[in-house]
Amino acid sequence: MASQFYTSFIASLMYFWSSCVALIIIRLQCVLLLFYVDLMGFHVELLGKRIRDVLHCHSSGGNCVPDGNCKQLRSLEFLLELKQSHMEVFDLFSHFNDLFGWSILSIFVVMFMDGTVNIYWTQQVLAGVYGLVYLNATFSFSVPSLALIFAFCRCGEYCKRQQMLIGSYVRGLAYGTPSLQQSKEPAYTELLTEFTLQVEHNVLAINAEGFMVIDNSLLMSLCKR
């Protein structure tokens, strides 16, 4: 950003000022969205840790916590709370996608178009058509944009991986714990089956209005282009 301001004082680069306001707005919006996604990823991580504790407690036969908390972790009420928490986190992701989906899509489209223009200017400079000062101005736009795209995709990938861990923990509870399979509580087994289906169908992911999912696969597709 500083190099952009510096190069804009040159008369031949005054047109860079015309995009300065839009650039600041887009980048501030990206920072705000990154903060929200990072916060949602933190809540997904906490939920995954609690489900992992329940799985560990069942796997150890109820002897994992000396202070007696393992009995609470194995209770039907605690599993119901985890199921409801997962649904609330899914509602949070759905609300975020509905609220910012078009904004995310627009930001990525603008950044992609801006990157295409910057590639053109870089090629012109390397071909000797324009001076190196244009290359400095180009990098002042492109490098921060690439950093924001990378950070956004990494945050989305983190949420995706936490969702996969939650799914593995819940399936481990349903199919990988002998103590639970031998349990005589049909209500717990039925609730666990519902929880498994809920986790499989309600995916915790950052989705830009169905056009793209923000994760590492999107980052790789952008790099290929």
Contact (Cβ atoms closer than 8 angstroms) between residue 212 and residue 206? no
Question: Which pLDDT does position 210 carry in this prediction?
Answer: 79
Quote the number of domains for the chain: 1
Listed as ranges, residues in the chain with pLDDT below 50 are 1-9, 11, 66-67
Q: Is residue 108 part of a domain?
A: yes
* C-alpha count within 13 angstroms, C-beta hemisphere, residue 141: 25
Which two structure tokens, joined as six digits, stand for 45?
Answer: 């991580």
Q: Is residue 178 part of a domain?
A: no
Q: Is residue 180 part of a domain?
A: no
Q: Is residue 67 part of a domain?
A: no
Q: Mapped to the 3 state alphabet, what secondary structure does the chain carry?
A: CHHHHHHHCCHHHHHHHHHHHHHHHHHHHHHHHHHHHHHHHHHHHHHHHHHHHHHHHHHCCCCCCCCCHHHHHCCHHHHHHHHHHHHHHHHHHHHHHHHHHHHHHHHHHHHHHHHHHHHHHHHHHHCCCCCHHHHHHHHHHHHHHHHHHHHHHHHHHHHHHHHHHHHHHHHHHHHCCHHHHCCCCHHHHHHHHHHHHHHHHCCCCCECCCCCECCHHHHHHHHHC
Contact (Cβ atoms closer than 8 angstroms) between residue 214 and residue 151? no
Q: Is residue 60 part of a domain?
A: no
Question: Which pLDDT does position 224 carry in this prediction?
Answer: 60
Q: Is residue 207 part of a domain?
A: yes
Question: Which pLDDT does position 8 carry in this prediction?
Answer: 41
Q: Is residue 26 part of a domain?
A: yes
Which two structure tokens, joined as six digits, stand for 215?
Answer: 């994760």
pLDDT over 90 for what percent of the chain? 24
10 is in which domain, residue-wise? 2-48+72-168+199-224
Q: Is residue 106 part of a domain?
A: yes
Nearest-angstrom CA–CA distance, 24 and 83: 41
Q: Give me the torsion for CA of 83, 191, 79, 185, rounded to 10°.
A: 180
Question: Which pLDDT does position 62 carry in this prediction?
Answer: 56
